[in-house]
Amino acid sequence: MLITPPVYDFAYFDLFSKPLGLLRIASWLKRGGWETVHVNALDYGDKLSLKRFGSPRRKGNGTGKIFRQPLEWPAERIAIERQYARYGIDRESFSSQIARSRPDLILITSTMTYWYEGIGETVDLCRRHHPGVPVAVGGIYATLMPDHCRDVCRPDYVLTGEGSRALREALGGFLPLPAEEISDVADPEDPVWRESGVIRLNRGCPMACDYCASRLLEPVFLAGRAEEAFLRLKEMHERWGTTHFAFYDDALLVNRENLIKPFLEMVLSWGRNLSFYLPNAVHASYLDRELLNMMEAAGFRELRMGYESSSDDFHEKRDRKINRDIFDNAVEEIRNSAFPLQNCAAYVLAGLPGQRSSEVEHSVRTASAYGIRCRIAQYSPVPGSSLWEESLIFSSLPLKEEPVYHNNTFFSMEWEGFTRDELERIKRLTKELSPS
């Protein structure tokens, strides 16, 4: 049994949220002779939940809201004027789906560190319905905070790092597991692909930005194969009629001549009416006119770029991936291409330790002057990243003990040089400066 748990948060929007890692493991196990069942707590089509809560507002591209149940904010935590909630299918439906099968092994995926309460709920239900069956938690939270996961959520096994290696180390002694490695092929039979699909050309990122966890989760950048990615897209389309696809890459445009360009050539030759989205930003340094024209022709609905800051000092210290000349050139390439400038956006990073609001405001004004949209990306402390220890020292919140405070709702790096009021003012400014 493979489980996608519910989310505990102040807000949740399904922006092409798919359990790609979990469904890769499902395919791997099936090839080894296992039968798999996926219990998806984020299934917005769950019949019992629809009956109890009504239909959540969804968009035609497969994104939107999911079921929401308000919760009391625990009294022992730092007070906040926001409504906390559980996002996911009805508890009774979730419990009955877990109880329905008789598994030999239960695997639970995890993502954000501050969503761990959904993991705890899921582990408890598995213990109640399947006593004695090994329960393992893997994924991002388990990898970044294994001790917290072990002590608070209490699974039998905490799987850190790459899936097949972690599973073999934990369970290979008493459960038969496939000898091969896990591939990038996710279970194509799962109905999560019915409205939108996800594609990943590469794994990891060659950059080493100090505010990012990519290197912790994928220590080595691994280039994929354009042909395999296209075949996965084609299979989702032919099986489910999927026409909306999001890229999950951290570095989609790296090695563009051998990866993204050949992939787009296949898409264009195939001749289907598809739409593509970039929930993760791309590196502006890899944009060129030919690539932009191909993206527009293939059906890319947006272009999100990592800008982070207008300060060259920021980039010299934090990421070394961009400067003013690089971004100037990227925007010039867009203007000389068929890709609409008004469909482009730049992410500006806000709320790093010691960052001043004046720097963020200058970055917003500078990026907006190009005629593109600006999006504020609020910093969330990431355990194990280069900025983690600095964040622990700078923040007044107990980040190490309570992962809930990693949620950027708390603005954990607030100080006199950058207050919450200033953050809200800059957010309003960003909307005002956005092209109509």
209, 161 Cβ separation under 8 angstroms: no
Kindly indicate the confidence band of residue 252, based on its pLDDT and cuts at 50, 70 and 90.
very high
Q: For 198-222, how does the pLDDT look when each residue is reduced to its tens digit (9 = 90+)?
A: 999 999 999 889 998 888 888 889 8
Q: Rounded to 5 degrees, what are φ and ψ at 47?
A: -65, -45
- H-helix or E-strand spanning residue 261: helix 260-270
Q: Rounded to 5 degrees, what are φ and ψ at 139?
A: 105, -165
Cα separation, 70 vs 221, whole angstroms: 40
Amino acid letter for position 128: R
Collapsing DSSP states into helix, strand and coil, what is residue 160?
coil
Residue 323: exposure state from Cβ atoms within 10 A (0-12, 13-18, ≥19): middle
Instruction: Detail the DSSP E strand segments found in 279-401.
Output: 303-308, 344-350, 373-378
Residue 40 has a pLDDT of: 98
Collapsing DSSP states into helix, strand and coil, what is residue 408?
helix
Residue 315 has a pLDDT of: 92
Residue 42 has a pLDDT of: 98
Residue 333 has a pLDDT of: 97
State the sign of the Cα–Cα–Cα–Cα dihedral 72, 76, 78, 79.
positive
Kindly indicate the confidence band of residue 95, based on its pLDDT and cuts at 50, 70 and 90.
very high
DSSP designation for 14: B
Residue 180 has a pLDDT of: 86
Burial 216-232 (b: 16+ CB within 10 A, else e): bbbeebeebebeebbeb
Residue 435 has a pLDDT of: 87
Q: Where are the domains of the chain?
A: 2-171, 196-433
Q: What is the largest CA-CA distance in the chain?
A: 63
188, 241 Cβ separation under 8 angstroms: no
Residue 273 clears pLDDT 80, i.e. is over it: yes
Interval 188-193 mean pLDDT: 94
Residue 182 has a pLDDT of: 86
The CA-atom distances, in angstroms, between 225 and each of 44, 48, 175, 199, 261 are: 32, 41, 32, 12, 11
For 269, residues 6+ apart whose C-beta sits below 8 A from its C-beta are none
Report the mean per-residue pLDDT for the chain. 95
Q: For 402-428, how does the pLDDT look when each residue is reduced to its tens digit (9 = 90+)?
A: 999 999 999 999 999 999 999 999 999
Residue 330 has a pLDDT of: 96
Interval 126-139 mean pLDDT: 97
Residue 168 has a pLDDT of: 86
Cα separation, 205 vs 222, whole angstroms: 8
For residue 106 the two structure tokens come to: 């239960």
Residue 161 has a pLDDT of: 83
Q: For 216-228, how does the pLDDT look when each residue is reduced to its tens digit (9 = 90+)?
A: 888 889 899 999 9
Beta bridge partners of 107: 2, 136
Residue 288: exposure state from Cβ atoms within 10 A (0-12, 13-18, ≥19): middle
Interval 36-52 mean pLDDT: 97
Interval 73-78 mean pLDDT: 94
For domain 196-433, the CATH superfamily is Aldolase class I (3.20.20.70)
41, 89 Cβ separation under 8 angstroms: yes
Interval 364-383 mean pLDDT: 95
Residue 184 has a pLDDT of: 84
Residue 208 has a pLDDT of: 87
290, 248 Cβ separation under 8 angstroms: no
Kindly indicate the confidence band of residue 164, based on its pLDDT and cuts at 50, 70 and 90.
confident
Percentage above 70 pLDDT, the chain: 100
pTM: 0.95
Residue 174 clears pLDDT 80, i.e. is over it: no
